[in-house]
Amino acid sequence: MSSDFEGYEQDFAVLTAEITSKISRVPRLPPDEKKQMVANVEKQLEEAKELLEQMDLEVREIPPQSRGMYSNRMRSYKQEMGKLETDFKRSRIAYSDEVRNELLGDDGNSSENQLIKLREERAHLLDNTERLERSSRRLEAGYQIAVETEFPLAGGRRDSAEGVENFETRERLNIPLLVQIWRRQSDEACRYLKC
């Protein structure tokens, strides 16, 4: 019986080596060959599972005294089979990603396209930042004008009626104007920044 088991072991070793080789080649093949290779690997995985079942049956027929060594081998082969199936799934996922990219028109230059898009977005962001800074400078200049209208009163003109009239006139004219300028510039900045 152990000679049958060893024969199955040899067949399993050869088959798993072929499967491993084919799995590693799947992502690099042209689409038509990939489909054939995937189908071929699926068939070979089924054959490997059948070999494992045959080996398992042989181990059950071995006397209990000798069965321990063969049981350990079987665990090892089952782990190897699980690893092969996992590798095949990963290979198929890579294959399906490539098919998806082909269907969506993504030709592998996506990283270059993304880099170009990022550069364009960065340039747009820098332009918007510059506009916002100009608007901020204008607001600061307007605020400075508002502050300057208060300082003449601090000098000695506060006591005179003319100074107070000038301040009140400037206040009525400049403050609403500053508010209008600020609103216009903040609206403009929001439009550019799409907020």
pTM of the model: 0.49
Percentage above 70 pLDDT, the chain: 69
For residues 58 and 8, the answer to whether their CB atoms sit within 8 Å is yes
Token digits for 184?
A: 């216009």
Confidence of residue 104 (pLDDT cuts 50, 70, 90): low
Q: How many residues does the chain have?
A: 195
Confidence of residue 80 (pLDDT cuts 50, 70, 90): very high
Query: Given a cut of 90, is residue 142 above it in pLDDT?
Result: no
Nearest to 81 by CA among 124, 161, 20, 131: 20
pLDDT value at residue 118 = 79
Environment class of residue 68 by beta-carbon count within 10 Å: exposed (0-12), middle (13-18) or buried (19+)?
exposed
Q: What average pLDDT does the structure give for the chain?
A: 76
Q: What is the DSSP letter of 194?
A: T
Confidence of residue 154 (pLDDT cuts 50, 70, 90): very low
Q: Can you count the helices (H) and strands (E) in the chain?
A: 5, 0
Confidence of residue 113 (pLDDT cuts 50, 70, 90): confident
Query: Given a cut of 50, is residue 119 above it in pLDDT?
Result: yes
